[in-house]
Amino acid sequence: MPANFWPENDSYKELDPLDSLLSELAVEEELAEETSPCVSHPSRFQGRRRKAALVLTMIWSGTIALHLVSWGYLFVLGLTTIIGLHVFVLVFAKPRRTHEQLEGDYPYVSVLVAAKNEEAVIGKLVKNLCSLEYPEGKYEVWIIDDNSSDRTPQFLAELAQKYDQLKILQRSPGAGGGKSGALNQVLPLTQGEVLAVFDADAQVPPDILLRVVPLFERQKVGAVQVRKAIANAKENFWTKGQMAEMALDAYFQQGRTVIGGLGELRGNGQFVRREALKRCGGWNEETITDDLDLTFRLHLDNWDIENVFDPAVEEEGVVSAIALWHQRNRWAEGGYQRYLDYWDLILKNRMGSRKTWDLLVFLLSQYILPTAAVPDLLMAIARHRLPILSPMTGLTITMSMAGMFAGLVRIRKQKGLNLSSYFMLLLQTVRGTLYMLHWLIVISSTTARMSVRPKRLKWVKTVHTGSN
């Protein structure tokens, strides 16, 4: 079965008139002013379909307009140059030296895992998490069993007899909110000043707490994300592509934090300061990607997110094209969703100028440019010319290849580098770049579909086999 799936029987009315859409946005902005800057107000998560329809209309009409005005190509060249300078600084940013020794007492850490039907991996995970190198009595492990229908509950009951720090929360059949709901339900039961969240297939280095927790000594750090690595990377083209993709993502995320940009959370291997999480209202149960949503809410509340290249947490990569398609559609929609939810606070510069600019650069390259590719291509064919956004597309591909190669080199440095190693990494970069082209289709189709039929909120998980 697919690693992720969504029911396709959702029904929606036809798109409302544009004036209705504009009036809704005006009401939401007035409401945001009345309730002040609360990022968790329920009204933020309404009307996503209408907002997506408006944004799609603006992107298509704007792209067509660039083809029709005489200065359109000059505008694209100017914008490409400005973004290129930002990318240049990002690619060559040197990582900060981090302190890996605590100067004071070790804070209590709560390790959290939301699990649903994870009998294939739950035993290995619990053994891993209950054997971490950290002062005795200073951390606990919580497994939230979200109404599993396999043997996960029985395995957990047996493991609880073996490991003293293991604690289990069984959710009732009617409990909602997916992964966010599971984490929110266990939160009042936990004691940790720092909350570490892992997926059920995580393979965690024994010293991860000792190396990550000291980063919270800087009081402005609200969260830390470690690099994700693919445990079954050698299996096929798709897993090898995901390995290169994770190297690219980790390299850029660390660079963004170094230059004062927007560090992001990636779910598996995320560490969150309890105070910061409470101020942001906990995990959002109205989104399909809790980690990406929490990223924005932390930054909007003036917290920083650190992204570190080492240590890394390993996870299973999906092994088929259909599984990848379902997973990435969910990621794409969740990532786009947060722009629709918090657009007014972003434009008010609540994050600060450097973070807002960095955010807009990645919004343009990750979402707007792929969405504009269709009208750009159609206009280019109609007018017998090259796509007007070609300079920006070329910059994006070059940026991706440079970051991917640099990320792979940084990982490989631990084993040593020689001439043949560089050649192998270059081949991996080319293969990874071909693999990354799937994002063009995913993003363009997802942003178009969201304006008609967003996905329903429900637990959607990747199937883990434990074979890695």
Cα–Cα dist 260/283, whole Å: 25
Q: Is residue 321 part of a domain?
A: yes
Residue 428: pLDDT over 90: yes
Q: Is residue 143 part of a domain?
A: no
Rounded to two decimals, the pTM is: 0.86
> Which one-letter amino acid corresponds to residue 419?
L
pLDDT at 102: 72
Cα–Cα dist 156/163, whole Å: 10
Q: Is residue 134 part of a domain?
A: no
Q: Is residue 213 part of a domain?
A: no
Six token digits for residue 389: 């956004």
pLDDT at 181: 92
Residue 466: pLDDT over 70: no
Average pLDDT, stretch 234-245?
95
Q: Is residue 355 part of a domain?
A: yes
Residue 468: pLDDT over 90: no
User: In which domain, by residue range, is 88 found?
Assistant: 1-100+218-468
Residue 459: pLDDT over 80: no
Average pLDDT, stretch 109-115?
95
Cα–Cα dist 179/183, whole Å: 6
Q: Is residue 366 part of a domain?
A: yes
pLDDT band at 351 (very low <50, low <70, confident <90, very high): very high
Share of the chain above pLDDT 70, in %: 87
pLDDT band at 100 (very low <50, low <70, confident <90, very high): low
pLDDT, one tens digit per residue, over 275-300 is 999 999 999 988 889 999 999 999 99
Which of 467, 209, 454 lies closest to 315 in space, CA to CA? 467
> Are the CB atoms for 1 and 319 separated by under 8 Å?
no
Q: Is residue 164 part of a domain?
A: no
Residue 460: pLDDT over 60: no
Cα–Cα dist 287/296, whole Å: 12
Residue 80: pLDDT over 50: yes
What is the largest distance, in Å, between two alpha-carbon atoms of the chain? 74
Q: Is residue 247 part of a domain?
A: yes
Average pLDDT, stretch 197-214?
94
Six token digits for residue 102: 């605590």
pLDDT, one tens digit per residue, over 166-181 is 999 999 888 888 899 9
What's the mean pLDDT when you consider all of the chain?
A: 87
Average pLDDT, stretch 244-254?
95
